[in-house]
Structure 1
Amino acid sequence: MPHSRALRNRFVDAPGSLGERLRLARWERFRRCFPGIENMSVVDLGGTAEMWLRAPVRAKHVHLINLESHPAGLPDWITAENADVTDPEVAAGLSAEGGYDLVFSNSTIEHVGGHSQRRRFVSAVERLAPLHWVQTPYRYFPVEPHFVAPGFQFLPLAARARLVRRWPLVHSRPDSPESAMDAVVNIELLTRAELRYLFPRSVILSERVLGVPKSLIAVRNRAA
Structure 2
Amino acid sequence: MLKSAITDYATPGSISHSARARRWAEMMRCFPELAEMRVLDLGGTPESWNHAPVLPAQVVCVNIHPKHATVHGPVTGFVADACDLPDTFRSEHFDLVYSNSLMEHVGGHDRRKRFADAVHAKADHHWVQTPYRYFPVEPHWLFPGMQWLPFRTRVAISQYWPHGPSSHDNIRKAAADVADVELLSATEMRSYFPGSQIWFERFAGLPKSLVARKMNY
Deviations 1:129-170 (A, max 9, x none): 111000000000000111111101011011101111111112
TM-score, normalization: structure 2?
Answer: 0.94
Does 2:36 align with 1:44? no
Residue identity over aligned pairs, in percent, reads 43
Give the corresponding residue for 2:147: 153
Corresponding position of 1:7: 2
Equivalents in 1 of 2:70, 2:109: separation in Å? Answer: 36
Consecutive unaligned residues in structure 2, runs of 5 or more: none
Out of 69, 74, 77, the residue aligned to residue 77 of structure 1 is 74
> RMSD of the TM alignment (CA)?
1.5
User: Which residue does the alignment assign to 1:189?
Assistant: 183
Q: 1:58 aligns with which of 51, 55, 58?
A: 55
1:73: Cα distance to partner? 5.7
Aligned residues of 2:45 and 2:68 also touching (Cα < 8 A) = no
Match of 1:117 among 95, 98, 111: 111
Which letter does structure 2 place at the counterpart of 1:185? A
Name the counterpart of 2:209: 215
**Higher normalized contact order (CA 8 Å, seq sep 6+, divided by chain length):** 1
TM-score (norm 1): 0.91
How many residues of Structure 1 are paired with residues of Structure 2 in the alignment? Answer: 215
SS at match of 2:72: coil
CA distance in 2, matches of 1:100, 1:188: 28
Given that residues 91 and 124 in structure 1 are in contact (C-alpha distance below 8 angstroms), is that contact kept between their aligned partners in structure 2?
no
1:95 aligns to 2:90 (yes or no):
yes
1:3 match? none
| Amino acid of the structure 2 residue aligned with 1:11 | I
Paired with 2:76 and 2:122, the residues of 1 have a C-alpha distance of 16
The separation in 1 between residues aligned to 2:87 and 2:190, in whole angstroms, is 24
Q: Which 4+ runs in 1 deviate beyond 4 A? A: none
Aligned-residue offset at 1:10: 1.3
Q: Tell me the distance in 2 between the aligned counterparts of 1:49 and 1:165.
A: 31
Q: Is the contact made by 1:95 and 1:127 (CA closer than 8 Å) also made in structure 2?
A: no
**113, 122, 130: which one pairs with 1:128?**
122
